[in-house]
């Protein structure tokens, strides 16, 4: 499935909920289904800078695609990183770097985050794109 197809699916999923309480519950559920990061990556090196909560992110390349794992100490933040892992994991570095992230606005996520969480979201996307750029630079 392409990044755009996944984003369209998420837009559809979020549209099923009447209010943001339900959408937050969905984010929390996404967080619970997140492929957990190996404990050895829960170090300062893998911590995303710019997040109010602690968020660890790891990526590795398998068969030309990036596979992301992550974790957070906050349930909403864990849901947000799970959303991004769902979008970017199992995609090529090229596709990650050129992805249009407008789905975040379409589901209304940025409007319903505190400024510090919104900054964290931007930092998470930046870190994931940083991994993709590093993979391309190593080729």
Q: What is the tens place of the pLDDT at every residue in 3-53? A: 999 999 999 999 999 899 999 999 999 999 998 899 999 999 999 988 789
List residues with catalytic annotation: 51
pTM of the model: 0.94
In tens, the pLDDT along 49-69 reads 887 899 999 999 999 999 999
Q: How confident is the model at residue 139 (pLDDT cuts 50, 70, 90)?
A: low
Average pLDDT for 72-86: 95
Q: Tokens 């849901």 label which residue? A: 79
Residue 14 parent element (H or E): helix 3-15
- Does residue 1 surpass a pLDDT of 90? yes
In this predicted structure, what is the pLDDT of residue 110?
84
- Does residue 136 surpass a pLDDT of 90? no
Say which CATH number the domain at 87 has.
Answer: 3.90.1010.10
Domain containing 40 equals 3-138
Total domain count, the chain: 1
| CA gap 55, 103 in Å, rounded | 22
| CA gap 104, 113 in Å, rounded | 11
């Amino acid at each position: 499935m392409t990044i755009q197809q996944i984003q369209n699916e998420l837009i559809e999923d979020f549209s099923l909920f009447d209010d943001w309480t339900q959408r937050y519950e969905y984010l929390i559920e996404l967080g619970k289904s997140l492929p957990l990061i190996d404990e050895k990556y829960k170090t300062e090196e893998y911590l995303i800078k710019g997040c109010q909560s602690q968020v660890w992110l790891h990526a590795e390349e398998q068969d030309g695609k990036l596979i992301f794992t992550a974790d957070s100490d906050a349930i909403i933040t864990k849901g947000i990183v799970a959303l991004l892992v769902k979008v970017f994991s199992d995609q090529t570095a090229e596709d990650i770097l050129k992805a249009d992230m407008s789905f975040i606005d379409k589901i209304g996520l940025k409007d319903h985050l505190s400024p510090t969480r919104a900054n964290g979201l931007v930092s998470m996307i930046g870190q994931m794109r940083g991994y993709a750029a590093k993979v391309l630079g190593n080729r």
